[in-house]
Amino acid sequence: MEGGCSCGEVRYSLNATPMFVNCCHCLDCQKQTGGAFVINALVEASNLPLTKGTPERITMPTDSGRPHDIYRCPTCKVALWSDYGRRGYLFFLRALTLDEPHAITPDAHIFTRSKVPWVDLGGDLPPGTATGKPAGVYEVFYDMKATWPAASLARRDAASAAAKIG
């Protein structure tokens, strides 16, 4: 899959299925996107090569105090992905920047304690991209080891180990 910003200055290729997809309803995501939520597809940085241009890193404040870097097009300012905690190996790709934005569906709805009241998560939710199961709904967050598929956990561990070696 491929994607990019609105003006076309920055383009990327998504070379693997996301490890997991979160639909985040936190107030930070609402403020930063100007919308009700953001859909983040978690993928190894190595599986998200740039094919055109270079995004700029913007550091945002967080409640935790850890860095949250958003990579945006330098021209149109569209947010393409985030790196939480400056890991450098795990990106939170903004799924709606894909050329086929609806090809990816959430595996989990997180921080629903602050979701906008008109978003209804009580009915049947579609299967998530990584799990193939209806999305879980979490007031805050979930237990990653119990929620992520084993193959996705292994990919995350491998990316983490490679980053520590390099």
The pTM of the full predicted model, rounded to 2 decimals, is 0.94
Look at 46 and 166; give whichever has higher pLDDT: 46
HSE, side-chain direction, 13 A CA sphere, residue 97: 30
Domains of the chain, with CATH numbers?
A: 2-165 (3.90.1590.10)
Q: Could you tell me the two tokens for 25?
A: 């309803």
- Whether the CB-CB separation of 144 and 110 falls below 8 Å is answered with no
pLDDT one-digit tens code per residue, 49-100 = 999 999 999 998 777 777 889 999 999 999 999 998 888 999 999 999 999 9
- Round to whole Å and give the CA distance between 158 and 152: 10
> 135 by DSSP, 3-state: which?
coil
> 154 by DSSP, 3-state: which?
helix
Which helix (H) or strand (E) segment is 82 a member of?
A: strand 79-84
pLDDT one-digit tens code per residue, 107-162 = 999 999 999 999 999 889 999 999 999 999 999 999 999 999 999 999 999 999 99
